[in-house]
Amino acid sequence: MGMSPESRLALVRRARRMNRILAETYPDAHCELDFSNPLELLVATILSAQCTDKRVNMVTPVLFAKYPTVEDYAAADPAEMEEIIRSTGFFRAKTNSIIGMARSVRDRYGGAVPGKLKDLVTLPGVGRKTANVVLGNAFDVPGITVDTHFQRLTRRFGWTTETDPVKIEHAIGDLIPKRDWTVMSHRLIWHGRRICHARRPACGACSLAALCPSYGTGPTDAKQAAKLVRPGPFS
């Protein structure tokens, strides 16, 4: 006899319980990019593609000091910006995105980063993931950030079988109360970075073990699992 399929109600209850346990596990979960306003977070998030938050945070103090306003980014010399952000990788494409984004904000939004998803996603270099990071963390508008950790964990948890990021976003949005979207995204990303790794998750050190259908994907022995745990802050 196989396991009987989980009912919708059982899934909602299990997902919400897991979210509560993650809240206890990571009471201080937050965006690990440093910023002090929506423009800085938008730039930092563009830079974070294929790059660690830690590396971005090493580069942004110089960048933010040199280009404090949308106007400064819009008028930037690409070669100078590329030099500053080189270590984040894909620096030419990122420079083009940042300058293009700034010109768009200047010309179409009066120089202020817009606070709506439909406007943000029209900016060069800004997809739904980046837009949701900015909405959730700079504007306090609930947003679900579907990064690689989030995609892996929601499938491992059996919260969704979707593989398309937009479909994942909507599926999880139906499970978790809207007010929790932003912080739940951080909790999952923190858990993915610290415990639930892609190759060998630290199952034996996981606070969700009893509720996770993928328990046993990684070592369940407490000692072995403890060696796989990566403490933050991150990377």
Output DSSP code: residue 203.
G
| Residue owning tokens 């070669």 | 79
**DSSP secondary structure, 124-192, as one string:** TT--HHHHHHHHHHHS--------HHHHHHHHHTTS----SHHHHHHHHHTTS-GGGHHHHHHHHHHHH
Task: Let me know if 34 is a catalytic residue.
Answer: no
How many CA atoms lie within 13 Å of 1's alpha carbon, on the beta-carbon side?
Answer: 3
C-alpha 55, offset from chain centre: 15
Q: Which of 116, 147, 174, 178 is catalytic?
A: 147
Note if 94 is an active site residue. Answer: no
Residue 13: Cβ-neighbour burial (10 angstroms; 0-12, 13-18, 19+): middle
Candidates 34, 129, 174, 221; catalytic one: 129
For the record, the structure tokens of 93 come out as 């494409």
Cα–chain center distance at 169: 12
Radius of gyration of the chain (CA): 19
Residue of 123, 142, 40 whose CA lies nearest to 132: 142
Q: Tell me which residues are annotated as active site.
A: 129, 147
